[in-house]
Amino acid sequence: MNGIPRYNPAQIEPKWQKHWDETGVLNASNDHTMPKFYPLIEFPYPSGAGLHVGHPRSNTAMDIIARKRRMEGYNVLFPIGYDAFGLPTENYAIKNHVHPAQVTQQNIDHFRQQLKRLGFSFDYTREDNTTDPKYYKWTQWIFLKLFEKGLAYKSEMPINWCPSCKCGLANEEVVGGVCERCGSEVVRKVKSQWMLKITDYAQKLLDGLDTVDFIEKVKVQQRNWIGRSEGAEVDFTLTSGDKLRVYTTRPDTLFGATYMVISPEHPLIENRRSLIANYEAVAAYREAAARKSDFERTELNKDKTGVRIEGIRAINPVTGTEIPVWVSDYVLMGYGTGAIMAVPAHDERDWAFAKTFGIPMIEVVAGGNIEEAAYTDIQDGVMVNSGFLNGMKVAEAKKSIIEWLTEKGLGEKKVNFKLRDWVFSRQRYWGEPIPLVKCEKCGWVAVPYEQLPVTLPAVEHYEPTDDGESPLSVMTDWVNTTCPHCGAPAKRETDTMPQWAGSSWYFLRYIDPHNDTELAAMDELKYWLPVDWYNGGMEHTTLHLLYSRFWHKFLYDIGAVPTPEPYQKRTSHGMILGENGEKMSKSRGNVINPDDVVDELGADAFRLYEMFMGAFDQAIPWSTESARGCRRFLDRTWRLMEMMTDEEGVSADLKCDVHTAIKKVGEDYERMKYNTAIAAMMSLLNRFYEKGSVTRGEMKIFIQLLNPVAPHITEEMNELCGFGGELVRKPWPEYDPAALVRDTVEVALQICGKVRGRMNVPADLTRENAEAFFMAQDEVKKLVGDKPVRKFIFVPGRLVNIVV
RNA sequence: GCUGAUGUGGUGGAAUGGCAGACACCGGGGACUUAAAAUCCCCUGCCCUCACCGGCGUGCGGGUUCGAGUCCCGCCAUCAGCACCA
């Protein structure tokens, strides 16, 4: 071919992006007779800094799958939107005295332009924006449904409070004792907060995991976070006459309980203050514990501390023995009953505590050495020193003791979860208003559905007030309203929702984004749900992913969505680190700007590099040098046009290479092994170069395989070569299994497991006739000599190993 | 501390128990060029050697196997998550 222009991504990339925009060829179709495919990436938070190189990693990966599915004949919905409520925008607004909505709009426009520059095949006609009143109308609608069903409640409780953000945080948002967003130390503060009862769904969230194809580590993390444990609650009688209820996962060790521990916040201390001889010491300990943040209380607690309560003792219900009661901060009020029975012989924490304070131990499960360490094995141990449980295995003993306790009315079987309810109020401006009204007479009343959305009023200042109330609280015109119930004067809720609200259901809105009368139409939901493949970061496993599963299950229960789970498959990408191997951040000065990379190398090379840089699920440092290598590959691909022949088919000598590549690339895309898929295409390209020519037939296949990763260059080549049509509309190539086999294969020749040579042998050589074949070869005779052959191993296509 | 993941050339990384280092990056050499860039070709794990031959090599120590980067046992290191969950 003559007159081939230079490869110029700056010219061809905008050309094809414009073409896709104008034709809408990548958009989802309304044709419900087609098989559907719904891939999803986590919609970005449109920060002022613009796109990060991390975004395109996930986006390109799913774009490859989306583009391949279109070629396979699916109706693909690959949507994009913006999770735009949130603190950075609000903080920017506070600092610069601009309305957050204005900042948000600018940022979204910038993001969209950056995303389009990278050639992602999103359907931009279905964009979500969580800050759009048409969108958050339905976020509020879902909240009201939760409120209606009793799953939203107000609670006066100690919450995590960030003094810097002046904002309450969910437990899940506190990372290592500091605020996840700003890094300030989190303190405790009592505040009346809206809570969502995610704990009501703990079992359903757990069971649902068995029905979906999430990668195993995501399932493990969610299971651990939900933290189901089976055990029993047992009542101990105290010498004060009270009953002290404990939760234990090891009721089988009840005979070994030699003391009890209550949390410093346990009500018993105040209720029986007069009976506690050393109340002063206990109160002092409690104050010390309260001063510690959760972080200190746990982190600094390598050595166990505690105070023994003088004046109250407990009676072990099975042995009748009197045992002491201690106060220690290793027992938390927020889990179980805030009190435990301590079995130092068979629990590591109890063991450490008992050692520190010289408390006796009783071995009740034989098999370990309790002088050395607590014996916690629950498989092989056999009960001893345990009355009627003696001789039983742990599992059996557990069952028996629970039956016994239930019969005697001393306790019962109990399932506990670590999962805690979701703190849903924020004292901030830039969030969805909570659509509730407080009436003196009627209490909390829902704003009627037909009045939604409750929109954010314009305010003068976006800062939370000094007492920590939302900026909305000073908007008296907005706050003062009437009760929808009785018409009396009433006040609006001024707290707003957390950022997690809008992101908990955004994938539903994509399905029917312009619907004014419903969240989304049921026939559309039935066609598109569930999301077939959702890729995102591991950091969202226990926050966003769990919250959105909770909301979805709730919506399923009220009949608003047709599937019990939102996402069928969940995969996860690794982080992109800076060139120095550290996390990319402004403060470290190692941030790579995607725009700069596209300017220098083009979007296709950028996409290619992000997929080639290493294993998709692992953290990889960025390397601009390596990225240039990917551009080199595209330059070489482009120059294939100079060596293209008029032949239509695949040449005989490359038939095997081409079909092997079709198989490998297709399978590797599906397994998210993008790096080896690209390596296979590089190898094939090298074969074309070795040969010095490529046929039209080979070229068609090659650019089709490469198209999902590098869509612009391949479309341009398709056009320049005069192949007709567009790659996005062409079918994905199929391989011919017969073409994969070669006539001869090279095998390794091993003597006693050491490689001594290589040989070409017929590919159809079988195990049966291999020994005769090899022993007749001169090369083999030379290596073996006259030593007797003790063993002969032949692995077809791989190697032969002769043991002498 | 617990849990999980990872550990392979100068670098990023390949490798259903079967030829370790695919594919790239960096580096070196050559061709082309007045020259440079670009491009093309060759070399590139380490040691010994002019070269051949050979030896050593997947964090460390054992084991299973004809054969181990891969499986088992015990360590070490790094990273991530969790923070005493009874």
User: Where is A303: in which H helix or E strand?
Assistant: none
Report the distance from CA of residue A370 to the C1' of nucleotide B74 in Å, as an integer: 23
Q: Is the peptide bond before A530 cis (omega within 30 degrees of 0)?
A: yes
Percent over 90 (pLDDT), chain A = 57
Across all strands, nucleotide nearest A418 (CA–C1'): B85
Q: What is the pLDDT of residue A726?
A: 95
**Token output for A408:** 């005697």
Locus of tokens 């809408």:
A24
CB contact set of A22 (below 8 Å; sequence gap of 6+)? none
Question: Could you tell me if A464 and A166 are in contact, meaning their C-beta atoms sit under 8 angstroms apart?
Answer: yes
Strands A365-366 and A187-196: unpaired
Q: What is the pLDDT of residue A291?
A: 66
Segments in A240-383 forming alpha helices (H): 268-271, 279-291, 294-299, 348-357
Q: What is the pLDDT of residues A101-153, one digit of tens each?
A: 999 999 999 999 999 999 999 999 999 999 999 999 999 999 999 999 999 99
Question: Rounded to an integer, what is the distance from CA A522 to the centroid of its chain?
Answer: 27
Report the distance from CA of residue A73 to the C1' of nucleotide B10 in Å, as an integer: 47
Amino acid at A779: E
Q: What is the pLDDT of residue A1?
A: 45
Q: Is the pLDDT of residue A295 over 60?
A: no
Exposure string for A319-336, b = 16+ CB within 10 A, e = fewer = beeebbbbbbbbbebebb
**Token output for A614:** 């290493």
Which nucleotides of strand B lie under 7 Å from a protein CB?
3-5, 11-16, 18-20, 22-26, 38-41, 54, 66-68, 79-86
Confidence label for A296 from pLDDT (cuts 50, 70 and 90): low
Distance CA A700, CA A703 (A): 6
Q: What is the pLDDT of residue A561?
A: 97
Q: Is the ipTM of this complex over 0.85?
A: yes
Instruction: Find residue A668's DSSP bridge partners.
Output: none
* HSE-CB of A3 using CA atoms within 13 angstroms: 2
Q: What is the pLDDT of residues A62-81, one digit of tens each?
A: 999 999 999 999 999 999 99
**Burial of A293: CB neighbours in 10 Å, binned 0-12, 13-18, 19+:** middle
Q: What is the pLDDT of residues A306-326, one digit of tens each?
A: 899 999 999 999 999 999 999
**CA proximity to A305, closest of A336, A334, A284, A322:** A284
Question: Could you tell me if A613 and A661 are in contact, meaning their C-beta atoms sit under 8 angstroms apart?
Answer: no
Question: Could you tell me if A63 and A708 are in contact, meaning their C-beta atoms sit under 8 angstroms apart?
Answer: yes
* Secondary structure class of A553 (helix, strand, coil): helix
Distance CA A706, CA A698 (A): 12
Which residues 1 to 30 of A reach strand B, CB within 7 A? none
Distance CA A516, CA A506 (A): 15
Distance from first CA to last CA of chain A, Å, rounded? 59
Question: Could you tell me if A127 and A134 are in contact, meaning their C-beta atoms sit under 8 angstroms apart?
Answer: no
Strand B–CB A177 distance below 7 A:
no
Segments in A236-278 forming alpha helices (H): 268-271
* pLDDT, mean of residues A589-598: 89
Strand B–CB A790 distance below 7 A:
no
Report the distance from CA of residue A303 to the C1' of nucleotide B1 in Å, as an integer: 11
Strand B–CB A689 distance below 7 A:
yes
3-state SS of A173-236?
HEECCEECCCCCECEEEEEEEEEECHHHHHHHHHHHHHHCEECHHHHHHHHHHHCCEEEEEEEE
Distance CA A121, CA A715 (A): 14
CB contact set of A686 (below 8 Å; sequence gap of 6+)? none
- Average pLDDT along chain A: 88
Distance CA A804, CA A790 (A): 5
* pLDDT, mean of residues A520-535: 96
**CA proximity to A621, closest of A50, A53, A47:** A53
Strand B–CB A660 distance below 7 A:
no
Q: Rounded to 10 degrees, what is the CA torsion of A32, A33, A39, A43?
A: -10
Which residues 180 to 239 of A reach strand B, CB within 7 A? 217, 220-221, 224, 227, 229, 231
Distance CA A707, CA A710 (A): 5
Report the distance from CA of residue A690 to the C1' of nucleotide B45 in Å, as an integer: 26
Locus of tokens 């130092």:
A344
Q: Is the peptide bond before A457 cis (omega within 30 degrees of 0)?
A: no
Report the distance from CA of residue A174 to the C1' of nucleotide B14 in Å, as an integer: 40
Q: What is the pLDDT of residues A317-350, one digit of tens each?
A: 999 999 999 999 888 887 888 899 999 988 888 8
Report the distance from CA of residue A760 to the C1' of nucleotide B50 in Å, as an integer: 32
Strand B–CB A525 distance below 7 A:
no
Across all strands, nucleotide nearest A753 (CA–C1'): B67
User: Where is A346: in which H helix or E strand?
Assistant: none
Distance CA A95, CA A467 (A): 20
Distance CA A65, CA A76 (A): 10
Across all strands, nucleotide nearest A746 (CA–C1'): B19
Locus of tokens 């926050």:
A543
> Poorest-confidence range of A110-119, A380-389, A658-667, A681-690?
A380-389
Q: Is the pLDDT of residue A384 over 50?
A: yes
* pLDDT, mean of residues A498-518: 94
Report the distance from CA of residue A140 to the C1' of nucleotide B7 in Å, as an integer: 49
**Token output for A766:** 């079988």
CB contact set of A210 (below 8 Å; sequence gap of 6+)? none
Phi, psi of A195 (to 5 degrees): -125, 145
Percent over 70 (pLDDT), chain A = 95
Q: Is the pLDDT of residue A795 over 90?
A: no
Q: What is the pLDDT of residue A170?
A: 59
**Token output for A739:** 């073409």
Across all strands, nucleotide nearest A795 (CA–C1'): B18
Which residues 309 to 368 of A reach strand B, CB within 7 A? 329-332, 334-338, 340-341, 347, 349, 352
Distance CA A559, CA A522 (A): 10
Distance CA A290, CA A275 (A): 23
Q: What is the pLDDT of residues A628-670, one digit of tens each?
A: 999 999 999 999 999 999 999 999 989 999 999 999 999 999 9
Strand B–CB A178 distance below 7 A:
no
From the C1' of B41, which residue's alpha carbon is nearest?
A690
Distance CA A322, CA A314 (A): 6
Report the distance from CA of residue A755 to the C1' of nucleotide B57 in Å, as an integer: 15
> Poorest-confidence range of A562-566, A617-621, A651-655, A745-749?
A745-749
Question: Rounded to an integer, what is the distance from CA A658 to the centroid of its chain?
Answer: 37
Strands A744-751 and A620-621: unpaired
Question: Could you tell me if A505 and A497 are in contact, meaning their C-beta atoms sit under 8 angstroms apart?
Answer: no
Distance CA A306, CA A748 (A): 68
From the C1' of B40, which residue's alpha carbon is nearest?
A689
Across all strands, nucleotide nearest A798 (CA–C1'): B18
Distance CA A780, CA A784 (A): 6
Strand B–CB A753 distance below 7 A:
yes
